[in-house]
Structure 1
């Protein structure tokens, strides 16, 4: 899922100077990562910077124009030439290439990617080709990786089927990783950010067509409302407040509470990236929420903490005696580096800080994905599986011809995909963990689970009736999971 804080149009700068050069046979297609930018998926068409790109435009050649051969004999000979380059010129004569290639694939571990290639190319299976390409990148098999990138380019399209659209962004990430181990290329991606109001529009579209954010906010708000039902003064600390949208429905709910609403104070924490998306600082969020609270006659104050969540110290939180405390981590904690990135381990450090405040409730909403410490290839497979489900769910709710769908996917999802695939170390900021791992972290910090109420579950079930029946809600061990078909995508839990 999107990080909710990064927005970017993928448009790589020229990589000609950083691409690894490989001598290849004349029949093997040479690939220049300089052609890998999103503009390279267009059919020899150019658009001025910032111009609108119609969803009807195919960013890759039609499948019928692919350079993937339909002749298996020719294909096997291509592989034979690759084998000659990789294994040396003393291999068996050309007329026995079929048996030798298959034997090599069966006996040499470093040629496992060839098995994937032979299974994928005859059937034009883009997903398997992307997997084979990632395997070649993982094995430092540069010749095969560059060839497969050329093949994949003919099949991806930001206006095509879900796997074609996702494939375009995955290919961008693979090119960035192969060319310069990810970090420098990720930095050089030229982000032509739209105006802030457009970013808000894209996020709003995604918010409306997919229930992931509503599910997360609704489940967290339900846990907070339950924990605060008898409190007169409530302080909510939100690590990553964004636009403040989560708190609109909670303020409305508190306004209807029997006996009158509590006094609400919200400390909003957020960084400069979100400030750009808002079109200004946190004061904009405070003013909006204060206006809403006045209209519902709810006593309200807002405290701004403009900083990255991992930088927060006790003095930034404005703790006051006599207030019941709720802390909210919605789609934000995975951005904080842990022990695998920094000796400071900001992820566990912030949990220990929050636990020391003795909050009434802490809410956690995160993508249910394992991309934090996984090695590159397993991480690639996890990312492909996760975002394929995400793109499929968007496809059901947002028609392919919808003029803004490309913008929604590029600005809200694509950069996350590139970051997970292309970057390592501190440069990789999208570091998701499964709820099982989060539970371990919370328990080590001194928290105990706080099961979500059945009322929250029933409310979310009612919400999902407005969406496809392929969304699945599961309650397990006091936590809630929302998924697409058989794939969990978001998990929500509460702690105290």
Structure 2
């Protein structure tokens, strides 16, 4: 069992074999959600020598046929979203009836705004039935909506209306609504005001891109590369790790899954696709040295990188010092490549008597837009013959080719994140503000405003990853109760821990905020 307290240097932290080559069109269909797929198909279902043809595709309504109308901008949300109740594991749950806080959640405010939006746009067109209406009318009649919340509901309603006009290419009308949003939204305001501020920026940029203009609020503003913006400074990274439970939940439960599969391994090769400060490696080292049976003889850590070699090497030196304090034999290697297609098995200095583990935390998603990269990486990982691969990914579908679908998914997802940041980092406003501006702001603009190769933020759900991994013969493994225990243990160290919710999707752990999925942790064997 992992310890939930450790320290390293000046940092003190308390926590608790079937291949399938995609056709480009089929790749896009899988990751953009144009099809529903049969998740019961696994490599084990195949008879010996048979050819794996991929998922059984069931053509649904093609995304490019969905009109950007007032009803379609919202009616997919309730049917596609998954709330986490945690009841399967007796985890703490967040009740919508305000058992923790009397104020409305951002998700509820968006739902109220959505209902007002639908009612307003449908008054002279069609009477919605209870069956087709995604937001029950009883919600909007709540007397608990106070003045500020009413203003925030109106703010979201204006944002939704503007997005609808953008989808219908009514750009002048969209700009008028955005000007109304500008009067209240602010990067320093309430969570709702901050959320609307960044989504308004994204809509301004999208209008500029589609009209070929450059305005001060759109393309005239400096636009950061969203993937580079996610590589936050070390100071912010440490603040996020210490104050946001999600970072520790995914690391501790993921590393526990690694340890569970290394019970008899004496020589371990841990390959990390994004090592950063190496917190996950520290957790792993502590767990291995605490093992009484089959004590570890040698741990080799290989960090993969394309930039910042000096930073990775500095992390390696800190990890070596920590290993020495534990009397653990450790070797640290760095594999640097300029192009991911240059990644090769021979770069990893594999030994015949070692067990290989692959740890991929929020890295595979960055390659969705480049299928040749992702396919190459998967084939390379398979050639390493790892005992197990642990994957942590963002749990949201914002990769649709249809603007309005991405907008709705992103609005609910980032809305919950802004609320989470406000609650968990209320005593560190500067880091919260900078994190929202750099990480969330650039990601929101990229998801909403860009298309094609320029759209680099392409998060998909575990269901999509599961279908993709099956093409490479991966088998999903169930997380042990020890991993679940680690997730629960972490929350005890945070005042905002009661807001976090957990559930399983298949055999993968889903971590969320007040029922809104944030991340998945999954374990795979080839």
Q: Give the TM-score, by structure 2 length.
A: 0.66
2:186 alignment counterpart: 157
How far is 1:374 from its partner? 4.2
Q: What does residue 222 of structure 2 align with?
A: 189
Whether 2:518 is the aligned partner of 1:472: answer no
Per the alignment, in what secondary structure is the counterpart of residue 404 of structure 1? helix
C-alpha distance in structure 1 between counterparts of 2:381 and 2:231, whole Å: 33
The answer on whether the counterparts of 2:244 and 2:425 sit within 8 Å (CA) in structure 1 is no
* Residue 357 (structure 1) shift: 2.3
- Partners of 1:385 and 1:331 lie apart in 2 by 20
1:9-39 per-position Cα deviation (integer Å, ceiling 9, x unaligned): xxxxxxxxxxxxxxxxxxxxxxxxxxxxxxx
Asked if 1 retains the 8 angstrom alpha-carbon contact of 2:446 and 2:455, the reply is yes
Q: Deviations over 1:334-358 (max 9, x none)?
A: 0013xxx44x532233223212322
* Match in the other structure for 2:269: 235
- 1:416 deviates by 1.6
**Would the alpha carbon gap of residues 297 and 182 (structure 1) be closer, same or farther in structure 2, given more than 3 Å must change?**
farther
Gaps of 5+ in 2: 1-119, 128-139, 141-148
Structure 1 position 323 matched with structure 2 position 354: yes
Question: How big is the shift at 1:411?
Answer: 2.8
* Residue of 253, 264, 272 corresponding to 2:299: 264
Larger CA deviation: 181-190 vs 385-394? 181-190
Question: C-alpha displacement at 1:266, in angstroms?
Answer: 1.2
Which blocks of at least 5 consecutive residues in structure 1 are unaligned? 1-98, 108-118
The alignment's C-alpha RMSD in Å is 3.3
Question: Alignment partner of 1:265: what SS?
Answer: strand
Q: Which has the higher contact order (CA 8 A, sep 6+)?
A: 2
Distance 1:129 1:308, change over 3 A: farther
Q: What displacement does 1:489 show?
A: 0.8
Please name the residue that 2:19 is paired with: none
- Using the TM superposition, give the Cα deviation of residue 123 of structure 1 relative to its aligned residue in structure 2, in angstroms: 7.8
Q: Does 1:292 align with 2:322?
A: yes
Aligned residue among 392, 398, 405 for 1:365: 392
Identify the residue that residue 452 of structure 2 maps to in structure 1: 425
Listed as ranges, the matches of 1:27-106 within 5 Å are 103=124
Equivalences for residues 381-396 of structure 1 within 5 A: 381-396=408-423
Cα shift readout 1:124-150 (whole Å, capped 9, x = no counterpart): 622222222122212211111111111
Query: Paired residue for 1:443, among 464, 470, 476?
Result: 470
Residue number in structure 1 paired with 2:255: 221
Compute the displacement of 1:121 (Å): 10
**Aligned residue number for residue 108 of structure 2:** none
Q: 1:122 to 1:453 in 2, by over 3 A?
A: closer
Aligned CA distance change for structure 1 residues 446 and 172 (closer, same or farther; 3 Å): same
Q: Which of 1 and 2 has greater Rg?
A: 1
Contact 2:266 2:298 in 1 (8 A): yes
Cα distance in 1 for partners of 2:299, 2:401 equals 41
What's the counterpart of residue 25 of structure 2?
A: none
Alignment deviations for residues 42-79 of structure 1 (CA, whole Å, 9 cap, x no partner): xxxxxxxxxxxxxxxxxxxxxxxxxxxxxxxxxxxxxx
* Structure-to-structure mapping, 1:329-340, within 5 angstroms: 329-337=360-368
Q: CA contact under 8 A between 1:371 and 1:420: conserved in structure 2?
A: yes
